[in-house]
Structure 1
Amino acid sequence: MDGLKIVTIGGGSSYTPELIEGFIKRYDELPVKELWLVDVPEGNEKLKNVGALAKRMVEKAGVPIDIKLSLDRREALPGADFVTTQIRVGQLGARAKDETIPLKYGVIGQETNGPGGLFKGLRTIPVILDICRDIETLCPDAWLINFSNPAGMVTEAVLRYSNISKTIGLCNVPIGMRMGISEMLGVDVERVHIDFAGLNHMVYGLNVYLDGKNITDDVLNKLVSGEGMTMKNIVNLGWEKDFIKALGALPCPYHRYYYQTSKMLEEEQKDYAEKGSRAEVVQQLENELFELYKNTELSEKPKQLEERGGAYYSDAACSLINSIYNDKQDIQPVNTRNNGAIASIPAESAVEVNCVITKDGPRPIAVGDLPVAVRGLVQQIKSFERVSAEAAVMGDYHKALLAMVINPLVPSDSIAKDLLDEMLEAHRYYLPRFNENVVS
């Protein structure tokens, strides 16, 4: 091969400099010849600023990656080897509605969990499936690497409602957990291995190893002694000691929404009163980042990018692409078709699990059944994801209502219907399939 062609849809994202950095540092073994950054017309200004920074980064590194910008993905896709998607339908304004409307009903408002996760999926899945149809036509042999949230629900939809089999969903949560454990232990991250299994933003560390020795109990003890892990966008409430001992597995930061719902709701309401929604906080961070990106003297990823909640997404994508291209057969946690890896989840469904990454894609590592302590919650969220994906594809009001009721963060069916109706109306512009079904 003369080199790889990679197309990034959502190329005007603030995360893109991390993607560029990842390709630059791997260039010797991952020869990217063309990198197309694609966005929608509304994102043209951001695309131009990010694209200019990307070109400066490549020039400084002295690597022959040709950066191309486009507002037309059909122009960019022909001949692509890999397509990455990092889109936010409705941008941060839609996220703010996902976060604030549920709070009026005394419900968690979070962009990938509960009602917010449902509506992010309803907006995102039809667009991703449109992209899939273009891939099927223009670059049918390409790998689709998606890290648009909700990544698990999107992967579920692609597996069920498109003809693309070469698709992988990616999340930074397992990476953050592994890095958090290494910092907790004061060791190099390469010495830490975690057996991950579950769903996107619902993944558990079943076992934790240091240099091959199982240290799960030691890690759980440290977790309840105040050395907790969290993310930039999730408040660290700590964990109740006896609960973690009973659980017997390492929870991810998002599990706080399910195991500490009332406390997390209280924190959200307080934060909203004091600082506004997380979307507003992120908007300020975005504004600051894009001002930095405009600086023609800047030719590297700025440190401030790590303040965004999705840090390490892009580096994970580069690592995954590298492992597929070079048939590394290393182990990475990704969202992929279950194929029996988790016994209590249908074989055709998407799961987040450790996989051996080969030139033919991920081979899920079987874990058998999940511990009974976590199995029920995981199955409930998988039901929510499947019904939500069907609702998104069909524009089906009743399926959307069912998904809202299934979700454990929504306390009753009466609240669910009122909440659904208000959010459907608020997001009407980005939900054309629902426009005739806002009310039953």
Structure 2
Amino acid sequence: MKLAVVGGGSTYTPELIDGFARLRDTLPITELVLVDPAADRLDLVGGLARRIFAKQGHPGRIVTTHDLDAAVEGADAVLLQLRVGGQAARNQDETWPLECGCVGQETTGAGGLAKALRTVPVVLDIAERVRRANPDAWIIDFTNPVGIVTRALLGAGHKAVGLCNVAIGFQRKFAGHLGVDPARVHLGHVGLNHLTWETSVRLDGPGGEEVLPRLLAGHGDAIAADLRLPRPVLDRLGVVPSYYLRYFYAHDEVVEELRTKPSRAAEVAAMEKELLEMYGDPALDEKPELLAKRGGAFYSEAAVDLAASLLGAGGSPYQVVNTLNNGTLPFLPDDAVIETQAAVGRDGAVPLPAGPVDPLFAGLIANVTAYEDLALDAALRGGRERVFKALLAHPLIGQYAYADQLTDRLIAHNGEHLAWA
């Protein structure tokens, strides 16, 4: 079994490698190719990856290369975890929206649109080269904004599934609160990527015992603290929102916070510098503790589970993924990409029935889906007016004066990545 990781020079990669090594019985990789244009990073990450495999006794071969076509040739699955423009572009995404009084964040709002515009054309080019190399290969997208990128891939006819670590993070935390094995926790996960609510928590599958009320009653304070939302908000909602909902539910408060501290991108850039120095130590043969602060917790477990299911090697029967709506949420178009529990196998992901969705959540889901329609159109066809319309449609913006100003800033900061600008 051959897997390729595009963006293999990422400081995230040792987390992924650790999961591949520990879970080799679930996903028996014989060859793993890390591909990245950044030679210095790739050498450091590749060296650590080989040492991790060796320490844990994994027999697989790890190859590093700058040649994308060679990397994906014969691959059974290709994982995408790239960042067009690097942390410098992310830093811009998180700062210039604040000049207009809007949230600066890399996956939602104006910053998220900028990332989508830079990323979608690059990902589609990679996917086309994967298809030429092996039309049966699965593409697993971890590249943000996952919902828009996955929709672009599926719209172009690629075999793709989107993946995010938010759901598995909730599963692990809830299991800890309840004192049960994480495999027993089944989430009623509803919404879009980075716009989701846990509307139920059941033990032992979708038909199991409902424990969300007990979870909120006994551990609501801890859950609220993790989300940085007041406990009464959770009690009034009766569900657990993704922490990304704080950008919507406490927008102005978040903007003021972001204006008074360094950007997350700046923090991550400093962390990455330290991590890469660690990765260069020939004595290091495991992922360092600092990596946990980088983000992406449990990404490796989720990725292994998904790849194993798609390739027929095992995997959990139900997983939270990003895939086509196809009637699951009747208030959305069939070709919308939702983040939901699905049965996953060789033929892809089939969403489980979601049941009625509270209008309080459905309205925001529909609004952001409409924005994603316009964002994808702007990413595929370009043009200032398309960018403006996408920004105007976003519920975190929604005023024409802001949308105009943000459009100018977005284009000014991203011109080198936008072929049409």
Interval of TM-score (by shorter of Structure 1 and Structure 2)? over 0.9
1:167 paired with 2:169, answer no
For 2:230, what is the secondary structure of its paired residue? coil
Tell me, yes or no, if structure 1 residue 321 matches structure 2 residue 307.
yes
CA deviation map 1:108-136 (0-9, x unaligned) = 10111111111111111010000111112
1:170 alignment partner AA: L
Aligned to 1:188: 181
Please state if 1:228 is matched with 2:219.
no
The amino acid that maps onto 1:346 is P
C-alpha distance in structure 1 between counterparts of 2:326 and 2:316, whole Å: 18
Do residues 378 (structure 1) and 372 (structure 2) align? no
Give the letter for the 1:321 counterpart: A
Native 8 Å contact 1:199 1:378 kept in 2: yes
Match of 2:127 among 132, 136, 148: 132
Q: Is the alpha carbon distance of 1:249 and 1:387 closer, same or farther for their aligned partners in structure 2, counting shifts above 3 Å?
A: same
Does 2:215 correspond to 1:219? yes
- 1:418 maps to amino acid: Q
- Indicate if the aligned counterparts of 2:52 and 2:285 stay in contact, CA closer than 8 A: yes
Checking the alignment, whether the CA contact within 8 Å between 1:355 and 1:365 is kept in structure 2 is yes
Equivalent residue runs for 1:325-344 within 5 Å: 325=311, 326-328=313-315, 330-344=317-331
- Structure 1: give runs of 5+ residues left out of the alignment: 231-235, 436-440
Instruction: Determine which of 238, 245, 263 is the counterpart of 1:248.
Output: 238
Mapped contact 1:180–1:229 kept (Cα < 8 A): no
Give the AA of the match of 1:53: L
Task: Say if 2:306 and 2:315, in contact at 8 Å, map to a contact too.
Answer: no
> Structure 2: which amino acid aligns with 1:268?
L
Aligned to 2:27: 30
- Counterparts of 1:141 and 1:196 in 2: how far apart (Å)? 29
What are the Cα deviations for residues 36-92 of structure 1, in whole angstroms up to 9, with x where unaligned? Answer: 10012xx11000000011111122222221111111101211111000000000000
* Identity among equivalent pairs (%): 39
Aligned-pair CA distance for 1:249: 2.2
Residue of structure 1 in register with 2:292 after alignment = 306
CA shift for structure 1 position 104: 1.1
Q: Say whether 1:206 aligns with 2:203.
A: no
The number of residues matched between the two structures is: 417
Q: 1:383 to 1:411 in 2, by over 3 A?
A: closer
Q: Which runs of 4+ in 1 moved over 4 A?
A: none
SS in 2 for 1:341: coil
Q: SS of the residue aligned with 1:356? A: strand
Partner residue of 2:272? 286
Q: Which residue of 2 aligns with 1:87?
A: 82
Match of residue 158, structure 1, among 153, 159, 163: 153
- Which of the residues 342, 349, 362 maps onto 1:362? 349
How far the C-alpha of 1:219 sits from its partner, in A, is 2.7
TM-score by length of 2: 0.95
Q: Is the 8 A contact 1:354 1:364 kept in 2?
A: yes
On the 8 A contact 2:224/2:231 being kept in 1, the answer is no
Q: Kindly indicate whether residue 288 of structure 2 is the aligned counterpart of residue 265 of structure 1.
A: no
Q: Write the deviation string for residues 93-152 of structure 1: whole angstroms up to 9, x where unpaired.
A: 000000010111111101111111111111110100001111121111100001000001
Q: Distance in 1 between matches of 2:342 and 2:112?
A: 25
Equivalence for 1:113: 108
Contact map agreement 2:26 2:315 (CA 8 A) in 1? no
Counterpart Cα distance in 2 of 1:415 and 1:359: 45
In structure 2, the CA distance between the partners of 1:432 and 1:62, relative to structure 1 (3 Å rule), is same
TM-score of the superposed pair, with normalisation by structure 1 = 0.91
